[in-house]
């Protein structure tokens, strides 16, 4: 089988070498397409691929149609909103993710962002400390839990909400469950977002929620750009000169927002939450192993389009 690693934002060289080793040791053919220009390049490279390993690369219906031999796509990472699941399912293609494999990297970035914003983006102005503050975790999955643990270790109070996790489980993990999303926003100095982008969540965080936050609060988004109602966010930042927004996923018109709001807003130049040597290895090797196992035994654990 031909297994293609297609990554516009490449893995580390060590991760690519590790993937190649796993794939070839199992008797498969390895190929890589990195830093490619556009969908046409991806379509051409995928034309004879049996399996794809991707990151945030867009696997559209068009890409799927251009890959007649494709049997499995593994998103090396958590969010799979970049894969057209319906088009994949219609062709019987298995789509998987590698849950948890890059969670620590993203959680560390969320904590770093809280400190960065509390210290005026490392300008000499008097900042504040995160110890003693309250962080609200919106979605208590692999990343959210780790943010909670790290925040607790730094002396923060941790609240959380997750529509799919019962309150007792949230309590067991050391966080205080919030009764409603509104309560979470109203009761936290920081809210750290960890929801996926789905039809239900896109545009779901806007003016009403953001303006519920207490004085001086900061919204931290290491999830997806799409979950924010950006017009609502801008209005909230305009009306409330105490609020802050930090994100790993730049909003539209970021340069203008930065001019308008200065150090109250910050976006990374390129999505970098999962961009560590460790996360690249964890997620990349997990993806390779999942594909090899799928071809050897038919194992579909981690399939997301069942
Ligand atoms: C994820 O969903 O796993 C993260 O957003 C990481 O995305 P990336 O692999 O494109 O960095």
pLDDT digits (tens, 9 = 90+) for 140-186: 999 999 999 999 999 999 999 999 999 999 999 999 999 999 999 99
Does the pTM of the predicted model rise above 0.95? Answer: yes
Nearest C-alpha to atom 5 of ligand 1 is from which residue? 79
- The pLDDT value given to residue 249: 86
What is the average pLDDT value for the chain, to the nearest integer? 98
Residue 76 Cα: closest atom of ligand 1:
9
Of 274, 283, 304, best ligand 1 pocket probe by most atoms within 8 Å of the beta carbon? 274
Nearest C-alpha to atom 11 of ligand 1 is from which residue? 274
Nearest C-alpha to atom 6 of ligand 1 is from which residue? 274
Q: Find out if CATH 3.30.2270.10 is the number for domain 103-267.
A: no
The topology (CATH level 3) of 2-101+275-297 is Rossmann fold (3.40.50)
DSSP secondary structure, the chain, as one string: -EEEEEESSPPPHHHHHHHHHHHHHTTPEEEEEES--SHHHHHHHHTT-SEEEESS--B-HHHHHT-TT--EEEESSS--TTB-HHHHHHTT-EEEE-TTTTHHHHHHHHHHHHHHHHTGGG-SS----STT-EEEEES-SHHHHHHHHHHHHTT-EEEEE-TTS-HHHHHHTT-EEPSSHHHHHHT-SEEEE-----TTTTT-B-HHHHTTSPTT-EEEE-S-GGGB-HHHHHHHHHH-TT-EEEESSPPTTHHHHHHHHGGGEEE-SS--TT-SHHHHHHHHHHHHHHHHHHHHH---TTBS--
- Ligand 1 pocket by Cβ (under 6 Å): 9, 55-56, 77-79, 102, 271, 273-275
Task: Tell me how far the alpha carbon of residue 55 lies from the centroid of ligand 1, in angstroms.
Answer: 6
Residue 57 Cα: closest atom of ligand 1:
10
| Per-residue confidence band for 51, with pLDDT thresholds at 50, 70 and 90 | very high
Q: Tens of pLDDT along 252-273? A: 999 999 999 999 999 999 999 9
> Matching CATH topology for 2-101+275-297 and 103-267?
yes
Task: Give the domain ranges of the chain.
Answer: 2-101+275-297, 103-267
């Amino acid at each position: 089988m031909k297994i293609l690693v297609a990554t516009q934002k490449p893995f580390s060289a060590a991760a690519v070498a590790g993937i190649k080793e796993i794939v070839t040791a199992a008797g498969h053919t390895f190929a890589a397409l990195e830093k490619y220009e556009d969908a046409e390049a991806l379509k051409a490279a995928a034309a004879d691929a049996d399996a794809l390993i991707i990151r945030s690369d867009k696997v559209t219906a068009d890409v799927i149609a251009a890959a007649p031999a494709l049997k499995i796509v593994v998103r090396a990472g958590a969010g799979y909103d970049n894969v057209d699941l319906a088009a994949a399912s219609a062709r019987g293609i298995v789509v998987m993710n590698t849950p948890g494999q890059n969670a620590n990297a993203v959680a560390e970035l969320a904590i770093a962002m809280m400190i960065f914003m509390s210290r005026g983006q490392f300008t000499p102005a008097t900042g504040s400390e995160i110890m003693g503050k309250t962080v609200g975790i919106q979605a208590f999955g692999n990343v959210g839990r780790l943010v909670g643990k790290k925040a607790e270790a730094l002396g923060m109070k941790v609240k959380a909400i997750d529509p799919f996790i019962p309150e007792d489980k949230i309590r067991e993990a050391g966080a205080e469950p919030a009764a409603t999303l509104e309560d979470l926003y109203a009761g936290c100095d920081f809210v750290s977002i960890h929801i996926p982008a789905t039809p239900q969540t896109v545009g779901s965080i806007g003016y009403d929620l953001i303006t519920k936050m207490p004085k001086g609060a900061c919204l931290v988004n290491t999830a997806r750009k799409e979950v924010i109602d950006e017009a609502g966010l801008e209005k909230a930042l305009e009306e409330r000169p105490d609020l802050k927004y930090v994100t790993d996923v730049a909003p539209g018109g970021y340069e203008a927002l930065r001019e308008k709001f200065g150090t109250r807003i910050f976006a990374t130049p390129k999505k970098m939450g999962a961009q560590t040597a460790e996360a690249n290895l964890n997620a990349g090797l997990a993806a390779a192993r999942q594909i090899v196992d799928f071809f050897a035994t038919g194992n579909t654990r981690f399939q997301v389009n069942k």
